[in-house]
Amino acid sequence: MAILIKNVRVITPYEILENHNVIVKDGKITDIINDHQSDTGFFDEVIDAGGHYLSPGFIDIHNHGNFGHDMMEATFEALETMARFHISRGVTGFLATTMTAPYEDTKMAVKNAADYILEQDRAGFTFHFQGSCKAQLLGIYLEGPYFSMARKGAQPPEHIKNPDIRELEDLIKISRDTIRVVALAPELPGALEAILNLRSRGITVSAAHTDATVDQAKKGIDRGITQATHIFNGMRGFSHREPGIVGAALIDERVYCEMICDGIHLHPAAMQMVVRMKGRDKVILVSDSMMACGLSDGEYTLGGQKVIVRNRAARLSDGTLAGSTLTLDRAIYNMVHMVGVPLPDAVRMATLNPARAIGLADTKGSIEIGKDADLVIFDDNITVKRVIIGGTKVY
């Protein structure tokens, strides 16, 4: 299958190439040429993008659910619904994210996601459900239960515990090695050993829901933490005398910072500070979305707890933020219009940076020759027009 995508503004990790064409063959990007060069060869399909932007497919590495479903339901239907909704917002790949829950519930959710990935991989990128295509499930993100009670946020407190290496090894086995990120609090007993064990298996470790001091955080980073889960949220507050995990994450070049750019979780000034300190290479836009994403205000659930969504903000009954209703296309828009980040940098934060953070940058995350043809066409308002996964038009 050969596709010519013409009349596009190509967003690379560093710039926008005006009036260019992209050639896709057998699911891979094979050439990027300007519109003055001749398009030699036969194409099965020619897509005229009408001068819109061509971007790498967005990668949402931290999301719990959307459109009325949640990863913890442990059903194919839930994952299918999430994947179909993601496509409509330009997300071509995502990690299904757990919540703190009883161990048996977590095992069921992990096994279900692993089974889904196996079936997806057997069928290929054109895997269909009820006649519609969907985003690719790239792996699993374990958020919990190894957290600080003091910084639990919306994580159910009755199931929070210290890290357990045997438990983690069991979950990794059940997942068939599809767990890509484990979030934990580095100051907990057993955390440093768990970090070393996870990193030896190639799993990304993220500091999350943590009350760590700056010294405790540094010890965790030295053992292998390379990510901070939704920076500022679920963390000890920054102080000039005790910078804590926030200070450690912001000044250490080894650490990526996830950011929920919805204008609710963080003030624009805080987001600007993160971007200025981490640069365009170390910020990852995430949705942290819950099941209300894509739906109207009302009552929903997260981790068995009632969540009230009002004016896009999802909160527990006590007012604690409980995930978000954000999508990555809007996160990119907000980064440009709310934070003042150049479009190529904002796109990079939702594509190449997450791909690098979870070890997939060799094949995904940027428009480069030889990479997977996971592509999105969107307009000036970052409204998604078309989506291509592995060289197949799916939206």
Three-state SS at 60: strand
Task: Determine whether the annotation assigns residue 114 to a binding site.
Answer: no
The Cα-based distances of 104 to 22, 100, 159, 185, 363 in angstroms read 47, 11, 11, 21, 34
Task: Determine whether the annotation assigns residue 315 to a binding site.
Answer: no
Q: How far is 29 from 2, CA to CA, in rounded Å?
A: 10
* Strand locations in 12-146 (E): 16-25, 28-34, 45-48, 53-56, 58-63, 65-66, 69-70, 91-97, 136-143
310: enclosing H helix or E strand = strand 305-310
The residue annotated as part of the active site, out of 60, 105, 262, 288, is: 288
Task: Determine whether the annotation assigns residue 322 to a binding site.
Answer: yes
| Helix then strand then coil, % of the chain, to nearest 5 | 30, 30, 40
Task: Determine whether the annotation assigns residue 233 to a binding site.
Answer: yes
Task: Determine whether the annotation assigns residue 167 to a binding site.
Answer: no
Task: Determine whether the annotation assigns residue 266 to a binding site.
Answer: no
Task: Determine whether the annotation assigns residue 154 to a binding site.
Answer: yes
288 in active site: yes
Q: How far is 137 from 114, CA to CA, in rounded Å?
A: 10
Task: Determine whether the annotation assigns residue 20 to a binding site.
Answer: no
Three-state SS at 133: coil
Name, in order, each residue with C-beta under 8 angstroms of 333's C-beta and a sequence gap of 6 or more: 381, 382
Task: Please give the torsion angle defined by the CA atoms of residues 124, 92, 373 and 362, in that order, rounded to the nearest 10 degrees.
Answer: -90
Three-state SS at 348: helix
Task: Determine whether the annotation assigns residue 263 to a binding site.
Answer: no
Feature table: binding site for substrate? 154, 233-234, 241, 265, 321-323
Which residues are marked as active site? Answer: 288
Feature table: binding site? 143, 154, 209, 230, 233-234, 241, 265, 321-323
Feature table: binding site for Zn(2+)? 143, 209, 230
